[in-house]
Structure 1
């Protein structure tokens, strides 16, 4: 198992870098991984030196012994996604759900849509498989309240810190009804895509 962070890189800059570092450091402490801030800094500097121009998807990987590596790939300009609802299995260990690790089986799906929107056994809406969810209602963006039941995203936290996103729970039947009535819009929020439109299939 490894920890990883996926970052957007534009013209040699990595937005939300401090958020990503803090999240990886927190998860490393929880899971007993070694984390060295100097190694992190060196890895970041190497990435920036090699890719000063362009838009990239950057993946930073942390091994249990503290060693790090990275993978950089071109970033597509996809701005809209499709999604369907899928229940999160309730036997998934919390450590897998709340940390960004390479153990991602609980997020697997058949890719009939680009994304899945997860909900729990009570019907609480949780997150997409590749990011958090924002629900626009009455011209305000909301995201589910964190109860150690999904991955805390860096873009999500930045938007909360900036006052652009409020926490509020939505439940499956209620959300389906509001989508069908055109009362809400859904968005994917993550550090890579930032904010992207989502069409949810009912």
Structure 2
């Protein structure tokens, strides 16, 4: 049972991108784990964050514990994340901020509920990131600072998501993302793109990744991010 849940959001000139969707996901997770109803406190915290940061682009992290005070923290987001085109229903050409990734060493158990909720206990993700960073360092693979993530995969051997973003595969003009039952977070931007008809759900194989026209990592803070997978 997690001691706290959290949401990470894009706060741009006092407005939260897809705020209602973030609140819906958080409320669903709070109910799933039997947390007390803290909707008014959550809405008050978000109002404070927005009112205190009316100008500028920020990454907002809201933490809701089972008991105790709700707290939030913001940090500035600069270039290239201030490009509004990153949040468009379809990716535009020439996007900056490429993410480099390597596959995780071990699979996830897609039946565990941890993948479907933003729990504060993220040791599994941190371990995979540490292992991936070690692999990159040992092999002396040049990776841009801040542009690294690890690609997770399930017991069936299929890629699922990255530790901080959902996975999108582009092929023949169509965009695919794995279904939730593969073991992944119901990302807010992912949900927005599915509702818009941009994305289609489909199981993804390693062959699909190698044959893709383009790969993307997506989340609601940074939008579309070109993805390059380094197969070790």
TM-score by length of 1: 0.90
Report the equivalent of 1:82: 100
For 1:62 and 1:14, how far apart are their aligned partners in 2?
Answer: 17
Give the direction of change, closer, same or farther, for the CA distance of 1:157–1:87 in structure 2 (3 Å limit).
Answer: farther
- Per-residue CA deviation, residues 60-114 of structure 1 (Å, 9 max, x unaligned), is 1101027411010111435211111115544587132221011112212223360
CA contact (8 A) 1:88 1:106 kept: no
For 1:197 and 1:147, how far apart are their aligned partners in 2?
Answer: 24
- Per-residue CA deviation, residues 113-165 of structure 1 (Å, 9 max, x unaligned), is 60111111211111010011111111111100111611110000000011111
TM-score by length of 2: 0.79
CA contact (8 A) 1:35 1:66 kept: no
Report the equivalent of 1:73: 75
CA contact (8 A) 1:3 1:63 kept: yes
CA contact (8 A) 1:87 1:120 kept: no
Report the equivalent of 2:154: 120
Higher strand share: 1
CA contact (8 A) 1:34 1:66 kept: no
Report the equivalent of 1:23: 25
Report the equivalent of 1:94: 112
For 2:37 and 2:222, how far apart are their aligned partners in 1?
Answer: 27
Q: Does 1:104 align with 2:106?
A: no
CA contact (8 A) 2:169 2:209 kept: no
Give the direction of change, closer, same or farther, for the CA distance of 1:88–1:68 in structure 2 (3 Å limit).
Answer: farther
Report the equivalent of 1:51: 53
Aligned residues: 197
CA contact (8 A) 2:13 2:57 kept: yes
Gaps of 5+ in 2: 81-96, 137-142
User: What RMSD, in angstroms, separates the aligned Cα atoms of the two structures?
Assistant: 1.8
For 2:178 and 2:68, how far apart are their aligned partners in 1?
Answer: 32
**How far did residue 35 of structure 1 move?**
3.0
